[in-house]
Amino acid sequence: MNTLYDKLEWYSGEPELYDVMKKVFRALVDWMIKNKLLVPQQVDYYGEKIPSDFSLTSEDLTDKGNAVFKKAYNKWASSGALFEDPIDFTILEEAL
């Protein structure tokens, strides 16, 4: 079963939040690449920019990536850490 973790479109109703979330997803993708949590096809696809149809699903992640996201993504996303400058990945890093 494919799990949908997050999707840029969910934030499209609030232009300022949408722009912030594009930056958050860019930083998150970079963090996932650094920690080898994305499957190779997604590393290539998301390597340059975050498309307007960006979504993050279990099919995008390696087994390790899915384990980290199942354990910690909702906690991280609701913690406010993604709005810090720089973005705080501690909650996700502790799940590695």
User: For position 34, what pLDDT does the model report?
Assistant: 96
AA letter at 8: L
Report the candidate in 54, 39, 46 with the shortest Cα–Cα distance to residue 7. 54
Beta partners for residue 56, in sequence order: 6
pLDDT digits (tens, 9 = 90+) for 10-57: 999 999 999 999 999 999 999 999 999 999 988 888 777 889 899 999
Calculate the CA 20 to chain-centre distance.
13
- Poorest-confidence range of 45-59, 60-74, 78-92? 45-59
